[in-house]
């Protein structure tokens, strides 16, 4: 279950967003706003996997596949992206520190 109050407090503290604003963006058709919301959650959420559930599976797949990792936070962003892809879509992990050792 998504805790919208915590999400707003920890991710969107500099904005005047409400739960309804966030849901409107996540469920809306504006790809630019949806990308903004996704990136803020991906890079800042304390509850990454839980908070990403705000998106439909179709939207989340598109957002993850098309997310361009920036150079300044490359390692951190790549880890979080791979964790989400593995969790939601069973994609293999390529980062050796995150792989299970059998």
Degrees (nearest 5) of the Cα angle 44, 6, 2? 90
Local confidence band at 93 (pLDDT 50, 70, 90 cut-offs)? confident
Determine contact, residues 10/41, Cβ cutoff 8 Å. Answer: no
Average predicted confidence (pLDDT) for the chain: 91
At residue 26, the pLDDT reads 97
Question: Which has the higher per-residue pLDDT, 27 or 100?
Answer: 27
Across the range 33-58, mean pLDDT stands at: 96
**Percent of the chain, pLDDT > 70?**
94
At residue 72, the pLDDT reads 83
Q: What is the pTM of this model?
A: 0.88
């Amino acid at each position: 279950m998504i805790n919208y109050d915590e999400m707003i407090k920890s991710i969107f503290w500099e904005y005047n967003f409400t739960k309804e604003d966030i849901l409107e963006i996540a469920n809306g058709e504006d790809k630019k706003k949806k990308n903004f919301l996704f990136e803020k959650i991906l890079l800042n959420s304390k509850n990454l996997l839980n908070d990403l559930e705000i998106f439909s599976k179709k939207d989340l797949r598109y957002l993850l596949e098309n997310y361009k990792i920036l150079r300044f936070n490359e390692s951190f962003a790549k880890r979080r992206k791979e964790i989400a892809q593995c969790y939601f879509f069973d994609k293999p992990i390529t980062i050796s520190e995150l792989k299970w050792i059998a």
